[in-house]
Amino acid sequence: MRELRAGILGATGAVGQKFIELLADHPWFKVTALVASERSAGCRYSEAVNWIGTADIPASMASMEVLPLGGDLPCDFVFSGLHASVADHAEPHLAKAGYPVISNAKSYRMDERVPLLIPEVNPDHIALIHQQDWQSNGYIVTNPNCSTVGLTCALKPLHDCFGVKAVHVTTMQALSGAGYPGVSSLDALGNVVPFIGGEEDKLVHEPNKLLGFLDGNQLQKASIAISAQCNRVPVLEGHLECVSVQLDSNTTPAGIHQAMESYSSPIADLDLPSMPAKFLNIFDEERFPQPRRHLDLGQGMTVSIGRIRPCEVLDYKFVVLSHNTVRGAAGGAILNAELLIKKGFLHPRGNF
Amino acid sequence: MRELRAGILGATGAVGQKFIELLADHPWFKVTALVASERSAGCRYSEAVNWIGTADIPASMASMEVLPLGGDLPCDFVFSGLHASVADHAEPHLAKAGYPVISNAKSYRMDERVPLLIPEVNPDHIALIHQQDWQSNGYIVTNPNCSTVGLTCALKPLHDCFGVKAVHVTTMQALSGAGYPGVSSLDALGNVVPFIGGEEDKLVHEPNKLLGFLDGNQLQKASIAISAQCNRVPVLEGHLECVSVQLDSNTTPAGIHQAMESYSSPIADLDLPSMPAKFLNIFDEERFPQPRRHLDLGQGMTVSIGRIRPCEVLDYKFVVLSHNTVRGAAGGAILNAELLIKKGFLHPRGNF
Amino acid sequence: MRELRAGILGATGAVGQKFIELLADHPWFKVTALVASERSAGCRYSEAVNWIGTADIPASMASMEVLPLGGDLPCDFVFSGLHASVADHAEPHLAKAGYPVISNAKSYRMDERVPLLIPEVNPDHIALIHQQDWQSNGYIVTNPNCSTVGLTCALKPLHDCFGVKAVHVTTMQALSGAGYPGVSSLDALGNVVPFIGGEEDKLVHEPNKLLGFLDGNQLQKASIAISAQCNRVPVLEGHLECVSVQLDSNTTPAGIHQAMESYSSPIADLDLPSMPAKFLNIFDEERFPQPRRHLDLGQGMTVSIGRIRPCEVLDYKFVVLSHNTVRGAAGGAILNAELLIKKGFLHPRGNF
Amino acid sequence: MRELRAGILGATGAVGQKFIELLADHPWFKVTALVASERSAGCRYSEAVNWIGTADIPASMASMEVLPLGGDLPCDFVFSGLHASVADHAEPHLAKAGYPVISNAKSYRMDERVPLLIPEVNPDHIALIHQQDWQSNGYIVTNPNCSTVGLTCALKPLHDCFGVKAVHVTTMQALSGAGYPGVSSLDALGNVVPFIGGEEDKLVHEPNKLLGFLDGNQLQKASIAISAQCNRVPVLEGHLECVSVQLDSNTTPAGIHQAMESYSSPIADLDLPSMPAKFLNIFDEERFPQPRRHLDLGQGMTVSIGRIRPCEVLDYKFVVLSHNTVRGAAGGAILNAELLIKKGFLHPRGNF
């Protein structure tokens, strides 16, 4: 398979940097375009970026010239780490220009023609791409919000086995979810902020799209009642969520455990490079999972679950942990792109 | 009113130290006995204790000799900051010996003859003391667990106005709740531990006793279904709780707000020294309350509430903050003692 | 004594907010003017400010209208919490207009006609005011940088008794020193940043001005060689400094201790409201002082010292702690204003 | 080369766990004996240990039976992560029994017959082994204290080029240096503790042994005057140190930079598995190195240096960062063992 050329939109931002870090040695993709705001365009990437990663900027990208949005891009498709305010306009513009846009931005996640995708959960939703009529080969595919992804991965086996009727979720979200500089240290240190703008609304809607099914060309969303309470806690990476679920049919804690443990990922045989060895990792120790300890399981792509037990109000409760900047952002988008290749939706764009 | 002489059991522990700090300038109580384990007995208090407070040991107590459990104590009553394993035996022993025991230990909280008391919530439960037959003037009165108190204070007005049917609560609890040395810094820093031994069970049972009513000599517990998920977060003091409630009758967010705002504390006219000016403080800013900012409202005795809004699964949800070592431990016990004085249950024990 | 009317420049900033907090119940000063940028002018203070304090905005100030820089101010003098970039121009302008300016800004600290003042260290430097010829009754008085003040207070008794020849200081400075939002939580949490722009230079120069002496109208600076290494650590408030000193004459650790303990503050008999009961507090426990524990000694105005011992390279070494936003900023400026009153430099400005 | 069988003493402790983590996939060593206290002996390792690592216990070791100290050990040599109180007796006992002991304990570091070893600094000190006369093939080799190693690695090129006369060092040390549970979270969070028992003394003596030279069979220690001030800061891993040096001969900051940059490691051509690609990494950005960002350079074996500049009191100053549990403990000991193999000091112990 020929290596595909990837562009990164919003390359100097926190999500953009994570794309660069994760794509540095990717076997299928080669980063050939770094796109940022007018202010950065024309600079070498290493000069334009305030690099926040713990490793160095990958040498191959440090010296690349940053490109502006707007012109032709020397790549076969783009990853978008744009802020929604920019993505609103830029992503359809690029799709129309013929670029597949694999986006982490929230702008088009709930658009009914745009797949909102977690490969292990709803790979068939890719078919929605055919609803997108940009008069070109371009399209938009999105991954869910960082707090949605862990919850939805945990709900999927339960929804398949028992039907999920209602969900109550309280999140304890990491600081890196707010980007850089993001949260002031004076608000973060030794404190909890019980509010994250727009977050609870995403948790109400995105899982229902992700757990919906395709009825012909139409996506029928699930109709799970979801109540979310979102908190920012002084943790660097890793969103921890306390979840209670109400189910359509009866089971036991062991039944919940079994459903999760034996969940058969629909992409298990595709051998995608970013797919973790274990999609869901279930802990028996009641003090696990913990963000600092279990963040990096499966290179940050495994979703960890623990403390499965009966709920006195709904039916069962448990704890979910996922890596917010890998599985919940750049890593999730890259896995989406890998799936798109395997499914025949990503190709070389011709010479230029 | 003559000043009463107070003893402190477990005086070298974290709760004992908080008692000492809060009683240093108390207008009604004078600390005359510091009681600790055999190991400390006979030492000056300043030598026996590993003082963790931010202010100095009150001068009047620094030089007091630490007394052992077991003998006569030169005081009219005792505050107990004992661990349950010691309190199990020591508290009834002292009650039998004629000492009123105002305890923060969990040992007898759920005993049906022992009042579990929050003065602003259920002052009438004091009458249960009459069920205690120790053949002496001694008795035991308890305050609830640190994570119970904030929740119960917030539920009380709702239970009075609308009836509370079910509660879902997720706590984010401070490190000081685990005592000293308590949680290892390697577990705490930049991490969340989604488990606190025994804590969820207390949250299920204690509020139902606190919100029960006296039917003659019998306490009829409330029958609220409560589901709790308890987490330890890297915050020094202040337990934050995300609460959802299901009510018996209909209301609106404004109705919830109004019920809390206009709740009439049954002890409002008693003028107790530790009573805060405001029992419940309700925030309109959606990012409040926060532990680090609002911890000390009402000298740590005010309970803060925010983000009152509809819940998509139960009826309404909100956030509660309370100071875990003041309102949730030593301060709560002191307020109980103040109420007992006003109600005629605490007296000088005669000369000795 | 008639209460003086104080204005606060930069009232919405972090230092301005601390002025407001500390002046809320001040016996000598009444805040009558809150001055901020054009953007805030005309708004109520409570609407203009992003209040970061732990207590509420003092009620008397919450509803005051914010005034712009430039016009007449309804006050007898001003405290300046301005950024240097604004203070550069605004402070002389106000001095010329007849306002005494008690400033925390760095702009004029090293100006030879402007007193750089710590009342317990160099109250006589006030006389430099007479060198300021603004054709009016206005003048500028400054307090030192937050990292300078603790060091200088500790050096003063040593310089008096033994002569200080050289100083090596490594600082571990709190996050609040960078204002709000200041340091990103992603840089602060679980990290140390070994650089603070401009800080080391202030530590080299300011102590030499503070420890200088007045020779007629001229200030003769001290000539201590000072080497500083400044670090930002994840502490909310309180700068801790590891200091080594080389002295002109011989002594012992006990001699150092004695010099500090017996230092006679030149303002001890002035009874200034913000003067702490103890100027220098010396710890014998080798693990003290610690920021979180000893920050608030003397309402944040006491400087704490510990671990006095011989230095293998210079002569002696020790640790100093001071409260960076109280003693090191707003509290220091207020103490300066109190001294100015007692010394006859602050008066009512006449009616308007 | 045949794989050697390694035992780990103190296998359940924090250092022991780090040995296990780092040796899991080691190309030259295979862990065949896990040794811990009587209490753990006989248990499976996974049951005996309170595993604090972020990855799982390596599968090959999880099920091994823990052995007691005292009997024969099925290994060719041992790594010791024992507490000094146990190592005092156990290490010579094992050496006498014929086991090479590669120790991280402080017990024999300053013994004149025992090499205190950093392979890049003083590999020739290995020859001291010949001074050890245990009547067997056993011996003891030690690595320095976690705070010594970074400092000494930075001093080595300067001592070679210019001669180091005096050093002033202030450390900001990570919590993991205190083991588990180690520092209480109530002491650590948002605080600095300006004291670490015994640490400053190690910094005074160990570098002088490490920078000494072999005069025949005798080690002539260096005679650098070193003054250390040690602090515990709320950082998980990575010791940061502010260093000032006085040199015997003149140079410039560029000269310091050049000496460090061009330092030629005496083991550069040995190709040891744990040797980092870069021994010393020098930053030009003045806000670097930082613990959280640069901790893992060279898999935690690189020592980072930054902010090289003149010192106003001594000659030059700079900042050093090293990984305290890798380079400063288990990783350092493993590199020592690798060197011992290459130099012919480690062999299979014969059959058993």
Predicted confidence (pLDDT) per residue in A166-185, tens digit: 999 999 999 999 999 999 99
Q: What is the ipTM of this complex?
A: 0.96
Averaged pLDDT, C233-258: 98
Give the residue carrying structure tokens 């890798």: D326
The predicted pLDDT at position D1 comes to 65
Inter-residue contact B72 to B32 (CB < 8 Å): no
Averaged pLDDT, C179-184: 96
Residue, of B349 and A142, whose pLDDT is higher = A142
User: In the numeric block, which tokens belong to residue C24?
Assistant: 């809320």
The predicted pLDDT at position D305 comes to 98
| Long-range Cβ pairs for the range C37-43 (8 Å, 24+) | C37/C12, C37/C68, C37/C69, C38/C68, C40/C12, C40/C66, C41/C66, C41/C67, C41/C68, C42/C66, C42/C68
Q: Are C183 and A184 in contact (CB < 8 Å)? A: yes
Cβ burial of D210 (10 Å; 0-12, 13-18, 19+) is buried
Measure D288 CA to nearest chain C CA, in Å.
7
The predicted pLDDT at position C86 comes to 97
Q: What would the pLDDT profile of C110-130 be if each residue is shown by its tens digit?
A: 999 999 999 999 999 999 999
Confidence of residue C46 (pLDDT cuts 50, 70, 90): very high
Q: Are D183 and B182 in contact (CB < 8 Å)? A: no
Whole-number Å distance between alpha carbons of D10 and A300: 31
Whole-number Å distance between alpha carbons of C143 and C120: 12
Measure D49 CA to nearest chain A CA, in Å.
14
Q: Are D185 and B190 in contact (CB < 8 Å)? A: no
The predicted pLDDT at position D352 comes to 43
Share of chain D above pLDDT 90, in %: 94
Instruction: Please determine, for residue A50, whether its predicted confidence score (pLDDT) is greater than 80.
Output: yes
Instruction: Please determine, for residue C237, whether its predicted confidence score (pLDDT) is greater than 90.
Output: yes
Touching subunits for chain D (3+ Cβ pairs under 8 A) = A, B, C
- Neighbouring CB atoms inside 10 A of D344's CB total 8
Instruction: Please determine, for residue A195, whether its predicted confidence score (pLDDT) is greater than 80.
Output: yes
Torsion angles phi and psi, residue D3, rounded to 5: -65, 135
Q: Which residues on chain D are in Cβ contact (under 8 Å) with B183?
A: 184-186
- The least confident of A92-106, C188-202, D45-59 is D45-59
Confidence of residue A352 (pLDDT cuts 50, 70, 90): very low
Instruction: Please determine, for residue D15, whether its predicted confidence score (pLDDT) is greater than 50.
Output: yes
The predicted pLDDT at position A55 comes to 83
Instruction: Please determine, for residue A28, whether its predicted confidence score (pLDDT) is greater than 80.
Output: yes
Query: Across the interface, which of D176, D189, D236 has its CB nearest the CB of B175?
Result: D189
Q: Which residues on chain B are in Cβ contact (under 8 Å) with D189?
A: 175, 185, 188-189, 234, 236
List the beta strands (DSSP E) in chain B.
4-9, 29-36, 66-68, 77-80, 100-103, 139-142, 164-173, 213-215, 218-220, 225-232, 239-247, 280-282, 303-310, 316-322
Confidence of residue A70 (pLDDT cuts 50, 70, 90): confident
The predicted pLDDT at position B1 comes to 65
The predicted pLDDT at position A119 comes to 98
Mean pLDDT for all residues in chain A: 96
Q: Are D192 and C242 in contact (CB < 8 Å)? A: no
Measure A70 CA to nearest chain B CA, in Å.
38
Instruction: Please determine, for residue C352, whether its predicted confidence score (pLDDT) is greater than 80.
Output: no
Give the number of beta-carbon pairs within 8 Å between B and D.
57
Active site residue D230: no
The predicted pLDDT at position C349 comes to 83
Mean pLDDT for all residues in chain C: 96
User: In the numeric block, which tokens belong to residue D60?
Assistant: 């090959």
Share of chain B above pLDDT 70, in %: 99
- The least confident of B174-183, C49-58, D73-82 is C49-58
Instruction: Please determine, for residue B175, whether its predicted confidence score (pLDDT) is greater than 90.
Output: yes
Q: Are A52 and C186 in contact (CB < 8 Å)? A: yes
Q: Are C190 and A236 in contact (CB < 8 Å)? A: yes
Give the residues across from D164 on adjacent strands.
Answer: D247
Touching subunits for chain A (3+ Cβ pairs under 8 A) = B, C, D
Return the amino acid letter for D281. N
- The least confident of A44-58, C268-282, D300-314 is A44-58
Q: What would the pLDDT profile of B107-158 be if each residue is shown by its tens digit?
A: 999 999 999 999 999 999 999 999 998 888 899 999 999 999 999 999 999 9
Instruction: Please determine, for residue C217, whether its predicted confidence score (pLDDT) is greater than 70.
Output: yes
Using beta carbons and an 8 Å cutoff, which residues of A are at the interface with D?
A: 53-55, 189-190, 236, 292-296
